[in-house]
Structure formats: structure tokens, C-alpha cells
Copies of this chain bind each other. A is one copy, B any other.
């Protein structure tokens, strides 16, 4: 089964996607033969250069050419967030599958419209939530589902980095009121992980702070910042489990603290993305004098680590996670499984984000 891919947007994430397709093709025995067919960028010169360096057969300065082309089966959107909705709706209307970088759209309302359109059209969709495809995440969920932790007691989730910790970090689209802020930008990952592991979140109660109230724009003029730099949330999952979730992009010293800790009646798990190839497991059934958290290293038994390295402990990297994401989408496109993280899932995360923002503004609990 061959699918021609049309890529719209050739910035950092565009390159990462193309690279992910290439890696996926080499590392996995994909049920889909992705062909890098056409690439669109803002000008002909840019598109031409990108087409050459990224290995596309054709290029265009107008993304609508990709939509209009009957040979394109999959539209891959890595354009700026503000364009996601328009492009995606056009692609869906043309009956194409859509693979869109996160966030799906600046607002929950837009995301909802995109989701409904895709579902009505019956096309396959995927949103790029990088962390969920980690083999250690699969292991964690499998252990929870198999009851190895027993009844779940509590959850703690964090996504903290420090890329906005400096007051000199300039203002950008990430600080836009629509779709910006630490919660939307990285808290969305923490929420996706929480639901991936424990199922739907039912209620939230957030607290947000703008730590750096002014940031310089590109001309060095100070501009007011209205979004959150840190948001902490009390959550209750639909299954009754309580927990906390935190998003912080001023977490000085932290580069990739996408962490979780889960306690259950029979065991516990903790994980840090700072060491993405390790999952720590405590088995309460071990004899008391031999108990302790066990550092499980990613290995061939933890699918699909074995596609990358034949021996445990060699470690996959961040970019490899993107290749797994694409391989899973290929399975979904071939009808072998449901989409791992489709538009509805992306829409759901944005729905929770906006509910938390509202809850923080109103200082109250809200149902999701």
C-alpha cells in the first residue's frame, strides 16, 4: 500500500517529520510505503530548496496545490499553529488523511471543528504527541492494565523545562493568549500522558502564574505577557483516582522533566523523561527484605525498542520516538489498528487545557 505524502511547512518540525518517515521506513517493516511526493513552503525558492534537501519529488509555494493534487494521500501539517485549522479542513474536504503537529489548533473550538470534520469524512488523523510512543510508556500502561500495580491510589505528573526561565527570552507565538502558555505548550504533554496511563480526567482545579510579566519583542521593546509560565492542577480521574499535574517552562535547571509517579495497592511506578530509557517499578509483593524500586532498562522485550537496537541498555533517543509515532500511524492507515492519537484525542487535550485555564481564572473546580 503506497501513500504519497504532501508536507506543508519545512521548519524544524517539518524536517523532524521527514526524518521520522525515513527512520520509520528503515527501522520498521511498514505496511505502508510512504512516498515523499510534494512539499510546500512560503516561497518558491524556499520550497525548491526544501524539496531538494528533504528529498521530495515536487515542490510548491502554494499549499493548496498539495490539497488539489489527487495523488497525495496524506497531508502532513507542520506549518505555524494559526494555519492548522484551515489546512486541515481543506485536506479533510479533499478526502485526505491528515498528520498534524501539536497543538491541533489555537482554540478548543477550532480543534473540535477539525475533529468532527475528520470523523464525518472518515479520514485517518494523527496529532504529534512525541512522548507517548516511548516503549517504557507502553510497558507502564501494560503493567497498569494487567493489574501489576493493583488498584491505583494516586498520580503525580509533571512537565517542566526551563526554556522560558530567562526574562530575556523574547516574546513569541508561544505567548499568544490563544493557544499559548506553559500549560498549552507542555502541560498538554503531561495531560496526554496522564490519560494515556489512567484514562479520562473528570475534574480539574488549576492555579496559574505569569512569572515574567514583560518580555522583549524582536525590536527589544518590552511587551506585556498574559499567559501562564507555571500552572499546577489538582485532578480527579473518572476512575476516582486523585492527582496533581504541573506545567512549568521556567523550571530552572530542568530540561526534560516529563515525569510521572503512580502508586497502587500492589505496586508503583515512576519515570522521568530525563532518562527516557528507564522505568522504575516497585513490586509490593516482593519479600520485605528484598523490596525496592527496580530500574528497568529499555530492551528488545519492550516493543518496538528491538527495531532500533538488538540489545538492551543501548538506548533510543528522542528522534527515534518520532519514528515510532509514524510507524504506529502507518499501522492505523493500513487498518491494522486504531489511530494511536487522532484529532479527537488532540481535541480532548485542548479541551482539558481550556477547562483548566477557566478553572484557574475562576478559582474553582470544573468538570472536564
Contacts and interface: CB of A to CB of B under 8 A. Distances in A.
Interface of A: 12, 15, 18-19, 22-23, 26-27, 139, 149, 153-154, 156, 158, 160-163, 165, 167, 205, 207, 209, 211, 229-230, 232, 234, 236, 240, 242-244, 246, 248, 250-256, 263-268, 274-276, 281-282, 284, 286, 288-297, 299, 301-302, 308-320, 363-365
Contacts of A234: 205, 207, 232, 234
Q: How many copies does the complex hold?
A: 4
Contact of A281 (B250, B290, B316): B290
Given A19-B27, A154-B250, A251-B268, A292 B282 contact: no
B311 A163 contact: yes
A205 B19 CA distance: 45
Task: Give the interface SS of chain A, mostly helix, strand, loop or mixed.
Answer: mixed
Contacts of A302: 289
Contacts of A167: 265
Contact of A252 (B248, B265, B309): B265
A288 B294 CA distance: 13
A264 B243 contact: no
Nearest to A209: B242
Given A205-B234, A291-B296, A308-B317, 15 more contacts: A162-B263, A163-B311, A165-B263, A244-B246, A250-B265, A252-B284, A253-B268, A255-B297, A255-B313, A256-B315, A289-B299, A292-B295, A292-B296, A308-B319, A314-B318
Nearest to A317: B317
A162 B154 CA distance: 12
Given A289-B139, A289-B299, A299-B288, A253 B274 contact: no
Nearest to A314: B318
A327 B292 CA distance: 28
A284 B165 contact: yes
24 contacts: A22-B22, A139-B289, A153-B248, A162-B263, A205-B205, A205-B234, A207-B234, A250-B265, A252-B266, A252-B267, A253-B263, A254-B263, A254-B268, A255-B312, A255-B313, A256-B313, A281-B292, A289-B296, A289-B301, A292-B295, A292-B296, A314-B318, A316-B318, A317-B317
